[in-house]
Structure 1
Amino acid sequence: MPHLPFSVVGVLHWLLASLWLVSLNAQAAIEVGTLTGELNLGPHVQLLEDAERELDIEQLVGEGGALAWQPSRQETLNFSFSDSAWWLRLRFENNASSPVRRLLELAMPLHDYLDAYVVDEQGDTVDRWQTGDRRRFDSRPVAHRTFVLPIHVPAGASREIFLRLDTHDGLYDATPLSLMSDAGFLAKSQRELMAFSLYFGALLALLIYNLLLYVATRERSLLLYVTYLGSFFVLMFTARGFAFEHWWPALPQFNNQLVPINIGVFAVTLAVFSNSFLNLRRHAPGVTRAIFGVAGLCLLSSLPALLGHYAPVFRLMIPAAIVLSGLLLGVAVWRSWQRDTLARIYLVAWGVLLVGVALYFLRVAGVLPYNLVTEYAVQVGSGIEFLLLSLGLAWKINQFKNEKLAAERATLELQRSLNERLEVVVEQRTRELERANRRLMALARTDPLTGLLNRRQFHELVEEKLQERRRSGQPLLFAVMDIDDFKLFNDTHGHQAGDEVLMQVATLLLDHFRRAGDRLFRLGGEEFGILLEADSLEAGQHALERFRQALEQLRIPHETSRHGVVTGSFGLVCCSDCRQVPSAIALYRQADQAMYEAKERSRNRVVTRSLAGAWE
């Protein structure tokens, strides 16, 4: 082909540059020099559908305004199911006196392919990137779970940005597109990181807590809950882009396969857990089969993802998930109408989650605005759901225990009734023997004079309480009380009067220490033990002081006492770390020593010890 004269070449070059400038001016420029906050670029984008996937950046720049660019007018870009590639065009202008850098964020972590180009006024490409979640994580210019592109605009200059969006097999996700400064992006990232840290931390804490409960109780419903919560945790961690960023950044294909597969697994775990939680196999076996069938369909529909097919997966999975949600919601409403407490808890929990999902997808569809509520609605809803379900499980386990106890009592009653009909005489003798055994057991556990627990029970109960507090890490408070100068009282007034004083003291103890965890013992003679249900040494000391004053205000005459009335001396110990306490005897000795210190200090007082060091 012959060379064109120099002048003709110059004219053609001038014409192409003029056409390029005309195309640039046709699009309203975005002033970025004074941008401080976050700008939603959705309404400012121009779109071009590339149905044949043939266009490249050179064609777009060379053909200028001849292509059929259309304004988007969408708050959030959404191409849904499409076999085309899509080009996005933006123009940035910097009227400031210094160059600026702005960060363009495509806030959809699961977008397949993103090719980006920055073009200057002469039509030259000054920056380009090829990234996406089907490419390695290190292809991203900014290491972030979403796609962040640094755009440099010199002072008094403009830049045109071209983004090419494409998918593996025609499934697009809704794509929020925004522009911000470095400071704005840092602030937004910190807010998001704080929110997601709290959210995933709360889910992980619930998971570990209920897993430990399962290990301790072997309750099958707890294991199902942990499996359900675990599948949801992995699903959300993957869908939000954190798994690809932190767990497998070099495995984009595996990351893409995991999302639909985990949705199918989540559907199955949801169905299994809901069946157990609501006892559907008993109350609604037909609905149970339908729920398992739809959940199985969700799981089967995810399998083509292993072969690289995703659009058919979601075309089938989305309606199946909607049907599954409707079935679960319907059966929860029905069982709630039947006054099933668990169903009501489930209905509230599931309803909160569905509201969160609805708000999120309405925001994605552009019906609702983009804000903190709509963006994090799924996280808030799911967090509340799992917390409510955990509380419901606790209620359910307690209810099962009560029902088991009731059934055992009913069985025993039936057995007793049958025995009465068959052998009346034998039953009468058996009852007499049982009554005698009960009396013996009561005598073995309690002090016959005061009715308080005896020293043997002191050893057993305090050992149990120590084991419990070693596990929970809560403090343990124990006190020893001794009636002052009681031997002199017996010598003066006689042992019968002394027994009456012991019974009066026991009655007063029972009146003052009535909390569920309080335990009262007669350890021997005029010595009593008090196991207090208190949170601190100060609370225990306050309770003992109230009792000491009440005992003194009984005004039981005691002429040989320096106080003139019956009084008591108290030794109180508080163990902040029960793992350091070797035994109940060691605990008693410490309290007894504190009590004798009260004796030495003129009696009628409370001496306290906070124990955290060496033990005898």
Structure 2
Amino acid sequence: MHLVLISLLFLILPLHLNAEPLSLPLDKGRAELNQYIEYIEDKNSTLTIQALLQNTLDWQPNSNQTFNKSYNDSSWWLRLHITNPDQGDIKRLIEISYAVLDYVDVYIVSDGKVQDSYHLGDKHAYHQRVIDHRFFIIPVHWKSHQSLQIYLRIKSSSAVQAPMVMWDEQTFYGFDTTRTILQGIFFGTMLVMATYNLFIFFVLGERTYLLYVGYVLCMPLFLASLGGYAFKYLWPTLTEWNDRAIIVFLAGVVVFGAAFTRKFLLVSHYAPRLDHLLRVSFYGGVTLVLCAFILPYHYNIIAIIVWASLACILALVTGAACWRGGLSTAKYYTIAWTAMLFGGLVLALNKANILPANLFTEYATHIGSSLEVVLLSFALAERINIERRLRYEAQEQTLITTRRINEELESRVQERTQELEALTQQLRDLSNTDQLTGLCNRRHLESSFYDEWERAKRYQRDIAVIMIDIDHFKTVNDTHGHLVGDDCLQEVARRIQEGVRWPSDLAARFGGEEFCILLPETGLRGALIVAERIRNLVAATPVTTRSHSLSITISAGVYSLVPSEEKSIDQTLNFADKALYQAKDKGRNQVFSERAA
């Protein structure tokens, strides 16, 4: 019987033992405080520091792991007991390295009385912090042989975590400088990659690069918000926005990531079913951005973490499917998203209290996103290299043909020369022609426009521009699909070409569903006649597509002038475009002209 009682006593006692007090000084300049923490849960958030000091409560000892209670609505009280056995005074800093806690109330107690108190957390303006730092830093001062109890009350709509370390000042600021430099390298890398690809977008006009830039910018802004840098440097007084920013930028990662994936991997061609899921991912991300301003943070953060994790998996599966389908650049993409998925899952598991909070789990997303951004940049570079290689191969084929012609018998020189000229013309046509519609492309239009502009300016002759846009074309794409949209573009282009009469008139696809017609030696009246003829040709007969017939209309803007030094091609295009939008504003399916000043 005595043995049974003794055994039960040993089983019960550990449940009520207090955590071991920490004795100063520190040998290595820092000490993990996890094992010295005791805690109690205040489910109704009614306890006060006076109640804790006056009553004996059932404090629970923490493990060696970081104090982590995931997402909940309770308040949590933490207690530390730290003594100074030395003769001299000792000053230390206690760091709570989790920047998105809403409320962190600190009470330093000596001999049962509150000696100092601090009210921290990102629900207070940044300038109210006792020490200027993105994390929560608590200064503590022990006198000779003094014992202090440090109480912390933590309440947060984010994950309740308290990774606590005690430092001496010199060691802390040395470590923090190194940590800040590493973060600076990360943010600098992301900014450089975004700037570099933004320049490429301006040069090439390829929307894929712009989507990539949006993705690259959202990722560091999300991590800066999560790590406290954004609250410190960007919006130190906007406490409500500080929570929403985490949701908005992580949702932005999903939105831009889904759009970039669809565009870069040509998913509608290589994996049509996954393309539909990517659309769902895109619109889900947009919805979560809106929800960030409506629903409580607690629900939003769980939803966005789950949604972002699923989006990462979907992107990875899409990359693998396109890689298997024969798209060579998909291999870099797949590897890149593997790194990103790994980092995102580690962060999600950390916030769900499945993985412990440490340097690796806290910065896994930084590591994964850095690798992903670099690898995606390689993928974009590979795409440029493939296009360049195709051009080189075409040029090489021309050279081979030339050498073969020179080696032929003299009697066949003329025949081979004609073949070469035909091949050269074919290459020129390919480089100057929009492959979908068969019209001239924008590059050829700009080149021809410059020549005609200079000629008209020299001889003071009229020149006119017609800008044409297919009405409600986005609805056609969204409702019937891009392939049906392509059919519509091809038929409208054919009717535009039919409506242009003179050989000198140049019709080109300007971009998307927009077309441009250049009319040399043509005044406003003649240009209006051409535009109206084309409008009637398009509206007269429904367009036959691969699925069914569609009634299509166009709107057109016309502008005519005599070129001079005070005027420019860009101004001319802008006036024609302005007239186009006036035609749309007036109800579409009509022609509107902008008169020269």
Give TM class, smaller chain: 0.5 to 0.7
Contact 1:32 1:102 in 2 (8 A): no
Deviations 1:192-243 (A, max 9, x none): 1111111111111111111112222222221111111111121122221111
Q: Partners in 1 of 2:387 and 2:343 — Cα distance?
A: 32
1:41 pairs with one of 33, 42, 59: 33
Task: Report the counterpart of residue 379 of structure 2 in structure 1.
Answer: 392
Q: Partners in 1 of 2:193 and 2:62 — Cα distance?
A: 43
Report deviation, 1:372.
4.7
Contact 1:238 1:244 in 2 (8 A): yes
Partner of 2:329: helix, strand, or coil? helix
Task: Report the counterpart of residue 58 of structure 1 in structure 2.
Answer: 50
1:78 pairs with one of 68, 74, 78: 68
Task: Report the counterpart of residue 312 of structure 2 in structure 1.
Answer: 325
Contact 2:19 2:61 in 1 (8 A): no
1:215 has 2:178 as partner: no
Task: Report the counterpart of residue 16 of structure 1 in structure 2.
Answer: none
Task: Report the counterpart of residue 264 of structure 2 in structure 1.
Answer: 277
1:159 has 2:151 as partner: no
Amino acid at match of 1:78: N
Report deviation, 1:338.
3.4
Q: Partners in 1 of 2:84 and 2:167 — Cα distance?
A: 14
1:137 has 2:126 as partner: yes
Report deviation, 1:161.
0.5
Q: How much identity, in percent, do the aligned residues show?
A: 28
Amino acid at match of 1:28: E
Report deviation, 1:374.
4.1
Mark the CA change 1:95 to 1:308 in structure 2 (over 3 Å): closer, same or farther. farther
Task: Report the counterpart of residue 97 of structure 1 in structure 2.
Answer: 87
Task: Report the counterpart of residue 337 of structure 2 in structure 1.
Answer: 350
Q: Partners in 2 of 1:436 and 1:389 — Cα distance?
A: 40
Q: Partners in 2 of 1:133 and 1:349 — Cα distance?
A: 33
2:279 pairs with one of 276, 280, 292: 292
Query: Paired residues, what number?
Result: 396
Mark the CA change 1:210 to 1:180 in structure 2 (over 3 Å): closer, same or farther. same
Deviations 1:129-184 (A, max 9, x none): 111111100121111011000011111011001100012xx432433111111122
Mark the CA change 1:221 to 1:438 in structure 2 (over 3 Å): closer, same or farther. closer
Amino acid at match of 2:384: I
After TM superposition, the structure 1 = structure 2 runs for residues 217-616 of structure 1, keeping only pairs within 5 Å, are 217-307=204-294, 309-360=296-347, 372-402=359-389, 432=417
Mark the CA change 1:56 to 1:389 in structure 2 (over 3 Å): closer, same or farther. same
Report deviation, 1:124.
0.9
After TM superposition, the structure 1 = structure 2 runs for residues 5-16 of structure 1, keeping only pairs within 5 Å, are none
Task: Report the counterpart of residue 107 of structure 2 in structure 1.
Answer: 117
Greater Cα offset, 381-390 or 214-223: 214-223
Contact 1:221 1:276 in 2 (8 A): yes
Q: Partners in 1 of 2:239 and 2:34 — Cα distance?
A: 27
Mark the CA change 1:404 to 1:58 in structure 2 (over 3 Å): closer, same or farther. same
Deviations 1:28-55 (A, max 9, x none): 2111223533222222211111111111
Contact 1:304 1:310 in 2 (8 A): no
Task: Report the counterpart of residue 181 of structure 1 in structure 2.
Answer: 168
Contact 1:134 1:256 in 2 (8 A): no
Deviations 1:4-24 (A, max 9, x none): xxxxxxxxxxxxxxxxxxxx9
Contact 2:313 2:341 in 1 (8 A): no
Q: Partners in 2 of 1:157 and 1:33 — Cα distance?
A: 12
Task: Report the counterpart of residue 415 of structure 1 in structure 2.
Answer: none
Q: Partners in 2 of 1:84 and 1:436 — Cα distance?
A: 81
Q: Partners in 2 of 1:188 and 1:253 — Cα distance?
A: 31
* TM-score (norm. length: structure 1): 0.60
Amino acid at match of 1:342: T
Partner of 2:158: helix, strand, or coil? coil
Contact 1:76 1:365 in 2 (8 A): no
Contact 1:203 1:233 in 2 (8 A): yes
Mark the CA change 1:315 to 1:377 in structure 2 (over 3 Å): closer, same or farther. closer
Report deviation, 1:370.
6.0
Contact 2:221 2:249 in 1 (8 A): yes
Report deviation, 1:375.
4.0
Q: Partners in 2 of 1:211 and 1:190 — Cα distance?
A: 31
Q: Partners in 2 of 1:102 and 1:37 — Cα distance?
A: 9
Note the residue ranges of structure 2 that are not aligned, 5 or more in a row.
1-15, 399-411, 425-597
Deviations 1:320-372 (A, max 9, x none): 22221221122222233334322211111111222333445556667666665
Partner of 2:47: helix, strand, or coil? coil
Contact 2:76 2:153 in 1 (8 A): yes
Mark the CA change 1:29 to 1:124 in structure 2 (over 3 Å): closer, same or farther. same
Task: Report the counterpart of residue 501 of structure 1 in structure 2.
Answer: none
Contact 1:86 1:165 in 2 (8 A): yes
CA RMSD of aligned residues (A): 3.0
2:192 pairs with one of 180, 200, 205: 205
Q: Partners in 1 of 2:101 and 2:235 — Cα distance?
A: 17
Amino acid at match of 1:158: S
Contact 2:36 2:81 in 1 (8 A): no
Task: Report the counterpart of residue 521 of structure 1 in structure 2.
Answer: none
